[in-house]
Amino acid sequence: DRPYHFAWPGPRTGEYLDLSTDADERWLQYYGLPTLRTPEDLADWLHIPIGKLAWLTLRTNDGHRPVSTEASHYRYQWIPKRSGGWRLIEAPKEQLRLVQTQILREILDRIPPHSSSHGFIAGRSIITNAEPHLGQKFILKLDLQDFYASVRYARIVAIYRSFGFSREVSIWLARLSTTAVPWSLQFPTRDARSWTFHAYYAFHLPQGAPTSPALANLSAYGLDVRLAGMAAAYGLNYTRYADDLTFSGPGRAFPSLREVIPFANRIIRSERFRPNQKKAKVIRRSQRQTVTGVVVNEHLNVSRQEYDRLKAILHNCVKMGPSSQNRGELADFPAHLRGKIAHVMLLNEDRGLKLLEIYHRIDWSR
């Protein structure tokens, strides 16, 4: 008999495989996670019928891939990168977004990330990411190429398994957390032969899903452990904010960078990520040192470039109306600007107050 909905028959015997019996409830209890063994358990926990769960995971599709962009549970948008190339934003539609939000809040947020990781984690920020590098004689910045697209479906299954979930539930959770683009998706350039574009055809973490930042951080846990260990061996500091890796240290460690950079790149590759060679950069104390947009030469400060850019936007809002500056058509543009000003205020109160004074002169009825 079929042990649960959507159980698969074995390839040789034809008997149904029961992949629900290998949950490790000790880990589930340790992390305070729900006890889920079967797809029915998962559907009940999500408060949706089993049929809708199968629909959200494209379980009934051949290859589990959306047949078209219209049939997909994601909306697609290509955005040009500042450094060149393109980034695909894959934003889940409402029903899948609600499911992913529950997975984030009641599962992923309960798993502690590595202490070196600072991106998209409660209580951590670009400021906590920058603080360890304050006043150092040199800073080394490395970058992971196509961070989200590098994290594949099999790795996500393994992450959910490590929490203690059964193999069957881990497969379903991974299906809810990853996607592959339909074959019909239009690419922004004719040359769609690059690794970046091909990576989207495999099941990967979608940039735009609520679950992706937490899963990306967890997938990089081993990377953080090894890079933090390497940094300690060389007397360096190490932090990671999403795909931005930062090392810093005293001048006496500078010559060892000839060893550090290739060593770090080998670790990155062995952890199944790709180093972005074009973005590797060493910044001396005599230069302006920034880490995730925060100046760290002598004290934490906002960069002049960022301050001037925000000041210009606010001035234009006063002169021409806020709609002229809301190029991204943000639903709550005032809150967006207040958040930017609050960030400046944390780093430089005087500059933040100047920006706030301009903000209060904006006529929001225009």
- Measured CA to CA, the distance from residue 304 to residue 310 in angstroms comes to 10
Rounded to the nearest 10°, the torsion over CA 207, 209, 211, 216 is: 0
**Which residues are CB-contacts of 209 (< 8 A; sequence separation ≥ 6)?**
90, 91, 92, 97, 100, 177, 179
Rounded to the nearest 10°, the torsion over CA 104, 106, 111, 113 is: 30
**Residue 10 has what pLDDT?**
83
Instruction: Say if 292 falls within a structural domain.
Output: no
Instruction: Say if 102 falls within a structural domain.
Output: yes
* Structural domain that includes position 305: 301-359
Signed CA dihedral, 78, 81, 87, 91: sign only: negative
Instruction: Say if 279 falls within a structural domain.
Output: no
pLDDT tens-digit profile of 14-28?
888 899 999 999 999
pLDDT tens-digit profile of 99-108?
999 999 999 9
- Measured CA to CA, the distance from residue 270 to residue 265 in angstroms comes to 9
Whether 187 and 330 share a structural domain: no
CB burial of 42-74 (b: ≥16 within 10 Å; e: otherwise) equals: bbebbebebeebbbbbbbeeeeebbeeeeebbb
Among residues 216, 246, 263, which one ends one of the domains? Answer: 216
Whether 175 and 319 share a structural domain: no
Whether 71 and 189 share a structural domain: yes
Whether 56 and 196 share a structural domain: yes
Task: Check residue 325 and report its DSSP letter.
Answer: T
- Measured CA to CA, the distance from residue 28 to residue 1 in angstroms comes to 28
- pTM for the whole structure: 0.90
DSSP letters for 218-275: HHTHHHHHHHHHHHHHTT-EEEEETTEEEEEE-GGGGGGHHHHHHHHHHHHHHTT--B
**Residue 16 has what pLDDT?**
87
| Residue 267 structure tokens | 């670790």
Among residues 167, 182, 216, which one ends one of the domains? Answer: 216
Instruction: Say if 1 falls within a structural domain.
Output: no
Among residues 216, 250, 268, which one ends one of the domains? Answer: 216
**Residue 192 has what pLDDT?**
54
Whether 320 and 195 share a structural domain: no
**Residue 9 has what pLDDT?**
84
Instruction: Say if 63 falls within a structural domain.
Output: yes
Helical H runs in the chain?
25-31, 39-46, 50-56, 94-106, 126-130, 147-150, 153-162, 167-177, 195-199, 212-219, 221-233, 257-270, 304-320, 333-347, 349-359
The count of domains in the chain is: 2
Instruction: Say if 179 falls within a structural domain.
Output: yes
End-to-end alpha carbon distance in the chain: 67
250 burial level (CB within 10 Å; 0-12, 13-18, 19+): exposed
pLDDT (tens place) for every residue of the chain, 366 residues total: 788 888 888 887 888 889 999 999 999 999 999 999 999 999 999 999 999 999 999 876 666 788 899 999 999 999 888 777 888 999 999 999 999 999 999 999 999 999 999 999 999 999 999 999 999 999 999 999 999 999 999 999 999 999 999 999 999 999 999 999 999 998 887 665 566 778 899 999 999 999 999 999 999 999 999 999 999 999 999 999 999 999 999 876 555 678 899 999 999 999 999 999 888 999 999 999 999 999 999 999 999 999 999 999 999 999 999 999 998 788 899 999 999 999 999 899 999 999 999 999 999 988
Instruction: Say if 345 falls within a structural domain.
Output: yes
Instruction: Say if 113 falls within a structural domain.
Output: yes
Q: Could you give the angle at which helices 257-270 and 221-233 cross, rounded to 10 degrees?
A: 160
**Are 227 and 238 within 8 A, CB to CB?**
yes
CA distances to 33, 110, 189 from 52, in Å: 23, 26, 36
3-state secondary structure of 38: coil
